[in-house]
Amino acid sequence: MSLKQLLDLTGKVAVITGGSRGLGLQMAEALGELGAKLVISARKQHELDDARKHLEGQGIEVMTIAADMSKRETVPGFVDQIIERFGTIDILVNNAGATWGAPAEDHPDEAWDKVMNLNVDATFFLTREVGKRCMIPRKSGKVITTASIAGLSGNPEGMTTIAYNTSKGANVNFTRALAAEWGKYNINVNSICPGFFPSKMANGLLDTMGEKMLERIPLNRFGGEEDMKGLIALLATEAGRHITGQNIAIDGGTTVC
């Protein structure tokens, strides 16, 4: 099989939660360019409308679903809509996420719950639903979770995001555990651990600590609009079929320092 064939997603159905902007939209662009039919979800319909217009302008078939993935009772109905239109799900990208900044000793209960419900619980419940209904019966699938380098280590001085770090550490071990369990079904389970990418969620932090953060990156730059595309393409296609249980940092070298 040629490399072009290994990277071909023609006919595949890819679901990207939090796919209307930022890293999610960047990954959607990559998978759509490789031929996948896309389903993107987010809470805000107007952001989904903008994303759909952008992607359809590139000739990509897109379905949008406005959904709050932190409400677990909505997950079966969410999957129902996708199966009704496309028949199955081949690739699941768990990208929707939330963060909250507060010192550990003063962290609000409701903020902790918000981060865990979306970053951890939603990832599990959606993956379970898609695995049970689509991937395990067909003995084929790719599960990719957006974790973070924040799940691989502690924080530099001045950052107080204990709930976020804890949730991303959970994503990291979720990936390892599920890869071991679902390998027998020919399902690849991996996570991407981004470093610092300018985004709506990260911009406040970059505004206050950007210069100091840049000093910690060997490549001396933040992630850009193309920097997620190569890795998501590898993990979502047959080019990465022998990669599973891995948490891959895409961080300009931050984690090696």
Quote the pLDDT of residue 155. Answer: 78
Helices and strands: H and E segment counts in the chain? 10, 7
Quote the pLDDT of residue 208. Answer: 67
Quote the pLDDT of residue 206. Answer: 65
Q: Which residues of the chain have pLDDT under 50?
A: none
Angstrom distances, CA of residue 148 to CA of 8, 117, 228? 27, 17, 13
In angstroms, rounded to a whole number, what is the distance separating the alpha carbons of residues 160 and 177?
Answer: 28
List the chain domain ranges. 3-249
CATH assignment of 3-249, among 3.40.50.720, 3.40.50.300, 3.10.180.10, 3.30.470.20: 3.40.50.720
pLDDT tens for 216-247 read: 899 999 999 999 999 999 999 999 999 999 99
Percent of the chain with pLDDT over 70: 95
Check 78, 86, 164, 174 and give the catalytic one.
164
Quote the pLDDT of residue 205. Answer: 64
- Tell me if residue 185 is catalytic: no
Using CB atoms within 10 A of its CB, is residue 109 exposed (0-12), middle (13-18) or buried (19+)? exposed
